Amino acid sequence: MMADKDIYVVGAALINDGKILATKRNNDRILGTLWEFPGGKIENGEMPQEALKREIEEEFNDEIIVGSKITESEHRYDFGTIHLAVYYAKFLTENRDLVAHSKVSWVEPNKLTDLKWADADIKAMQIISQAKIKEVQF
């Protein structure tokens, strides 16, 4: 049996106007049919917040400010165990280029549960769905 690989991933719950950005990655990529939080793998020596800023820059050509951590979760796939940390964040710029995603949607917190999310994301998504996101501070 292959040793299980630990994959550390960071995702952004981007807030704008009381809504949260849900993203779908390009279909040819892993988990391409599910909704997730934009972000990606943390590289060696990176702080999660730095990794998140780098990933959002790569994926949208945008700058963000990172707020508090919502939660951490893990999910085991056959390719390894995803350890996902999700942070609140806010765009500081407005390019919103779709480099890595096929679809993006601004969703009211209480509607997040209507979407089909990647397994590792469900815990954070449920917390956000009940949160008062207008009160989140940066």
Q: Is 67 helix (H, G, I), strand (E, B) or coil?
A: strand
Residue 5 has φ and ψ, to the nearest 5°, of -100, 130
Contacts (CB under 6 A) with ligand 8DG, residues 107-136: 118, 120-121
Tell me the site size for ligand 8DG, rule CB under 6 A.
Answer: 15
Distances (CA, A) of 132 to 5, 10, 108: 36, 22, 11
- The residue (of 9 and 66) whose beta carbon lies closer to ligand 8DG is 9
Asked if 11 touches ligand 8DG (CB under 6 A), the answer is yes
If you count them, how many residues does the chain have?
138
Q: Can you give the binding site for ligand 8DG, defined by CB under 6 A?
A: 7, 9, 11, 30-31, 36-37, 39-41, 82, 84, 118, 120-121
